[in-house]
Structure formats: C-alpha cells, structure tokens
Structure 1
Amino acid sequence: MHEMPIDPDVVALLDELGPPSPVRAADLSAEDLRQGMRDAIAIFTRGADPVAVHHVTDEQVPGGGGKIPVRVYRPRTPTAVVVYLHGGSWLAGGVDTHDLVTRRLCRDTGAVVVSVDYRMVPEHPFPAPFEDAYDAAVWAASLRPELPFLVAGDSAGGTLAACVALRARDEGGPRIDAQVLVYPGVDDDFATPSMLAFQDGPGMRLEDIAFVIRQYASHERALGSPYALPGRATSLAGLPPAVVVVAGHDMLRSAEEDYARRLLEAGVPAVVQLDPELVHGWIEFAPRVPAADRAFGRLVGAVNDLIGRAGDPGERRLVEESG
C-alpha cells in the first residue's frame, strides 16, 4: 500500500488547510462540514485559470422528489452526454464546488455535461440522493439520444454513478454506454488493507469515513441495498464498460480494486487508472498540483476512449451481446 510516497505538491497543498481537526465528523453539523468543503475547494482552486465552454445554463429537471437543479455545459459540437455526480460524502458539495471539474470535462471531451445538485443527507436520507441521480440520468439520456451516454462522478458521486448503472441494468433503461467511477465508495467494509493502512489520513480518518458511509448506507431503507453501495450487488454482469480511478493513498483503494476485478470477472470491460502518488479528492487539486493535472489528463483520455468505443456501432453491439 505504500509503494510510492504522496506527491510533495499534494502534501504542501494539504498543509495550507492547516492541521487536522481534532473534532470528529460525527460531532460536526452538516453545515459545518459543508462550509469546510467550500473552504477547502477555495484553497484547491485559488488562482485557477478559467475554463471556457460554449454555453452553460442552470436548469431544473423533473424528479420523483420534486425539481432537481442541474447545471448543463454544452460544447459547440457535442460528442456525447455525460451525467456528472459530485463528491462530498453525500452531505456536502454541489455544482459550484465542482464547476472547474465539469467545465474541464466538457472542454476536453466535447461532451454535454449535466452536473446534478442532488438532495443530500441528513435532511434527505437514502434513497433521495440516489433517486435524484437516477431521475436526472433518465432526463439527460433524452437530450441527445443519438450520442453515447455516460454516467460519472467522484467519491460519493462515483458511488451514485455506479448505482445508477446498476438500476438502469436492472430496470432496462436508460441506455448507459459507459460509467466513470473516480475513487468511489464501494462498500462498508472498514477492515480492508487500505482502510487499515491509511486509517490516520491524509485527509479523512477511518472513524470519519465510517461515520459518513454508515450515515448514508446504514439508514433503514439503505440496509443491504446495492443502490446504496454497489459492492453489495450479487452480480455485476451486464453493466456498461467502466473506468475505475483509484488513488494510491486512499482508504477506499482496496474496495475499488476489488470492484474492478469483479467487473472484469463478470465480463464487463473495465480499466483501472491507479494514481499511486495521489490521495482521495485529487480531482479538485488539479488546478494547483501538476501530478493531479496529469491524472486528470489521463482520465480525460480514458473518457474519450469510452466515447469513441460507444460511438462505434460494432463495439456497441459487442457490449450489448455480452450483457
């Protein structure tokens, strides 16, 4: 688990946040945690160059729990449609905290990117965040049905993206051509090798990550549900091709690598992008950390490859037949 040290630029950036808080996440209010994320993002993106895209609109789309706010990024000539689900432990973050991420994804892939402001815990326990993610995906799939359609997200958003793909498989729609899972939470096993290796950080401690996962996935309606944590699914067969992005110094690493292995064993094309010198949350560091910027470039390359394969009728037919 310690093959390569953390990139020194990451260490320096995290040092700007100040010393780790002695207060447990369980003892903070939701608003405290949300403000903490906003403050961190402000540091991670300080001085970042603007990322221009052709057209950006804030919209509201229909959902079973009411209107869902989304931010839609449109390039001049779309190559695909990507639903993006932000990270933040299902309780923090939003389209604003991830604006640079989604802008870059739009610019560098040419995709229409739909960033979803799903409802969050604790005010809206499971399945509310998941239902918003799924309903937004159903809406987005109708925007340009002739183009490849992908679901993507980081951290808690990566979890949601994987679960949206599971439900779409189980219920026969919408058609999802690929899934992009950036260091997702996969299960609630807190005794994996990476959980133990990185239990004292950097970033979140084991007791804190256990708190947020249990708060989301141990709620009465979430217990045992694969739509809360995708690692609970008994079968991964028939899912769309995947890119699974793994940070080397991340408590979630072992579960993510196991999920990628299960996808491959189920016959699902899956690529693992391991960034051994990075930590959980690196996608937000890209404006200030060269190693994270390079990792983002590799991620974009993988997404472009998925788009290209999904747009090839022969490739799409092979995937559909394998499912």
Structure 2
Amino acid sequence: MTEPSPGLDPAVRSLLTELETRLTVTGLADPDMIRADFDTMIEYLHDVGSDRPGPVPAGTAPDLLVEDGEVVTSSGRVPVRWYRPVAPAVGPGGVPGTDRADRSPVRVPAATAPTAVDRAAAETVGGHGADVDVVVYIHGGGWVVGSPATADPIARALASGLGATVVSVDYRLAPENPFPAAFDDCFAVVQAVADTVPHRWLAVGGDSAGGNLAAVVAMAARDAGSPAVDAQLLIYPALDPTMASASQQRFADGYLLTRTALRYYWDSYGAGHERRPYCAPSSADDLRGLAPAVVATAGFDPLRDEGNDYAERLAAAGVRTQLLEFPTLTHGFADQLARVPAASEALTQVIAGLAAERDLAVHGRVGLHGLGADRPGDTPPDAAPARSVGSAVAAVQQLRGLHV
C-alpha cells in the first residue's frame, strides 16, 4: 500500500489502515467473490451492527417509507428501492442521523410496491398525491458490484435532505451483463418514472460507476428529447476509460479505489465501446443542452481529474454547473458517513448544491440554497463552473452572481 500523502483527512487515514488490517481481498478473478468482498467492506464502512453513531446529523431526520419493488419498462421489469419522506425535510443538504433500527429497509412484496404501470401506487409513493421532486439514484461499484442496499445511506440522505422521492435502481451488473445493459436499465427506469410519477422536478444521480450512468442517462435524455431531466448529480464519476490523467497515476494504489481494480471494471463493462459516449461520457464531443450539473470530486481519488475536467467542459458548453471539490477525502467518501465526519459534511454540501439547483428550477431564483435561471444552457459559453472547495454555499454564491 502506498503511504497516504499529507493533507489526507486523519479519519480517512485511520480508516485506510483499518481496512488494510481487517479486510481480505480475494482478487479480481471471480465476480461473485468480488461482490462478497465489496459487501463486506461496505458493511464495515456503514458500521452495521455496532453501537457507534451513524452519519453526523444535520437536523432532525424525517421518517422515510422505504419499499422494494419493480419498475415496469418497455423492455422488462427492473428492481428498484423507493424512498419517500413522510415528514418535512430537514432542509437543503440535511444528512439524517440514522439509528440502527432505521437502517434496515421496510421490505414489501413486489406486487404491492409501486410500478410504472400502476399510476395510483406511484402517486402514493410520490407523496400525498401531488407533484413531487424525484431523484433516480444509481449506485456505484464499477458496474460489477453494489446494489440499492449498498447505496442505502446515500439514498436516505438524499430523500431526507431534499424532501424528495428517491428511486434507487438495481441495474444488471457486468461482466455477466456488459454495456449497454446497465445503461439500458437506468434510462428505462428514468423514462418510466418520468411518465408515471407526477413530479415537478426530476434529477438523475449516482456515485462512481453510478455517476457515469447518471451522466449518460442525462445525455440520452437530451438526445431523445425526453424525458425532461432537470438536474444531474455526479459524485466522483467514472468517465474516462483511457485512465490517462495525472490523478490516475498519482493515486493508483492505497486510496480505496485502485488503478488495477478500475481497469478490471472498465474492461468488464465497456470493452470495445470506449469511444461511445453512452459508455464513456468523456468521449462525447457535444455537451450542449445537458441538464444542470452538480459534480463532486475528492482530492485523493484517481477519478478526480476526469470529474473536474468534465465539469469544466459542461460549463464551457453552456451548462449550469457546480463543481464541489473535497481535497482531503478519497473515492467512496459517500460510503464513509458513519466513520469519517468530514465525509458526512461533504455529502451535506453535495445535497445542498443539488437542493440549490432544485430551488432554481422550481422557483427561478437564487438564495443561499438556490441557484439562478430556468433551464440548461443559460450559462454563457466558455464560462467556468461555479467552483468551490468543500462548500456548496460558495458555489451557489458564484452562480448567484452569474445568473441573477
């Protein structure tokens, strides 16, 4: 393991040491073993089964109705997990404090969970029979591992902090189902949710490989002319299969996501499709007209540079963009809420940024928790993203100056 560099958050440094000591990685030969190793690591990161406190609370967490179900799409049924607030949100960016009992989802038979062919059920899950805010969330894991269960704390934080319905997608995994399977599943879910759940604002988001899928879903929605995606949330997204950036070299080992693992993930999912934008967003020539973006990157992450570069390109293409940089954290910080206080604060800032974009889209104004104008493409060409190191408020203030 590479000796962690100065500037790394002390809690992250301790966590890396603990993971190296406690967890055994069996290698990259067997997808089932890789998934078992990943689930073990996530369980440890989430601190499941201990008496330690959960994520640092940013207010009183609302109750959530959490249901497993399916969304019926034009190509079949895709498993999803629905999150619906049943109490007022804690406010923009509020990451809920989560007790142990609340971490286990309420499971219901798929037949009683909302589907895209049951509008009445969808309205119920959407919240109080009225148009609501919806986030379709796509978990990370290199397209090979992960599930809505492993992304549960992130989805809960989004639902609580935004007061929004969150639909977490259980897409097909590689290598058994390579590109375009995951993309097809995620785009189909967004289409079905947009058509079925009455909403006033619809975002798509994800972390790591899920950030890749969120980016390409936003791209496909633009290209197809529907559904109308109002925002994209890209948390340390995997965008560039060339893996040629300086951060890929500098943080190749020792910071949770290794270069070797990332190469395996790209080869498992996207081999032969590296120049197709719906597989590798970095290869897209035209980013104009995409949904407003909130991009979050970590300082000690091999994916840092490609995330920063994509945010810069979005802004240059006229897409309203926030770039939130967290220089002391690693890849996967959104999975470290129970163990790294700075990670919890980072996710709070990320959700605040998305709430700000939502406030702009819905209310058309900018405040401390809101951005400025009405649809994508209102940023002057060749503009820079609203850029902030560790604070969504600073990015929002930049956008307020640009757009109001």
TM-score scaled by length of structure 1? 0.91
Structure 1 residue 16 and structure 2 residue 73: aligned? no
Q: Deviations over 1:241-270 (max 9, x none)?
A: 101100000111111111111001100011
> What amino acid maps onto 1:273 in structure 2?
L
Greater displacement, 199-208 / 270-279: 199-208
Contact 1:16–1:43 under 8 Å retained in 2: no
User: Matches of 1:262 and 1:3 in 2, distance apart?
Assistant: 29
- List runs of 5+ in structure 2 lacking aligned partners: 56-60, 89-126, 366-371, 382-404
Q: What is aligned with 2:171?
A: 118
The correspondence for 1:257, drawn from 281, 294, 308, is 308
Aligned partner of 1:84 in structure 2 is 137
Report if the CA contact (8 A) 2:292-2:375 is conserved: no
After TM superposition, give the deviation of residue 303 of structure 1 in Å: 1.2
Partner of 2:321: 270
Q: Which residue of 2 aligns with 1:6?
A: 8
**1:69 and 1:116 in contact (8 A); partners too:** yes
| Contact 2:209–2:238 (CA under 8 A) maintained in structure 1 | yes
Structure 1 segment 300-315 matched on structure 2, within 5 A:
300-312=351-363
TM-fit CA distance, 1:48: 4.8
Larger Rg: 2
In structure 1, the gaps of 5 or more residues are: none
Q: Partner of 2:76 in structure 1?
A: 66
C-alpha displacement of 1:320: 6.3
* RMSD of aligned residue pairs (Cα, Å): 2.3
1:55 aligns with 2:56: no
Question: Is structure 2 residue 221 aligned with structure 1 residue 168?
Answer: yes
For 1:318 and 1:137, how far apart are their aligned partners in 2? 19
- CA 1:205–1:110 in 2, change beyond 3 Å: closer, same or farther? same
Aligned partner of 2:195 in structure 1 is: 142
* 8 Å CA contact retained: 2:35, 2:146: yes
Output the CA distance in 1 between the equivalents of 2:68 and 2:211.
22
The yes-or-no answer on 1:133 pairing with 2:186 is yes
Which residue, 300, 306, 319 being the options, matches 2:376? 319
1:296 and 2:347 correspond: yes
The counterpart of 2:264, out of the listed 191, 203, 211, is 211
Q: Tell me, what secondary structure is at the counterpart of 1:311?
A: helix
**Preserved contact between residue 37 and residue 93 of structure 1 (Cα < 8 Å):** yes
Q: Name 2:401's counterpart in structure 1.
A: none
| Rounded Cα–Cα distance in structure 2 between residues aligned with 1:31 and 1:57 | 26
Give the match for residue 41 of structure 2: 40
AA partner of residue 92 (structure 1) = V
Deviations 1:16-70 (A, max 9, x none): 2235868653xx3111111111101111111454966331211111235421000
Q: Distance in 2 between matches of 1:124 and 1:304?
A: 34
Tell me, in whole angstroms, the C-alpha distance in 2 between the residues paired with 1:32 and 1:9: 28
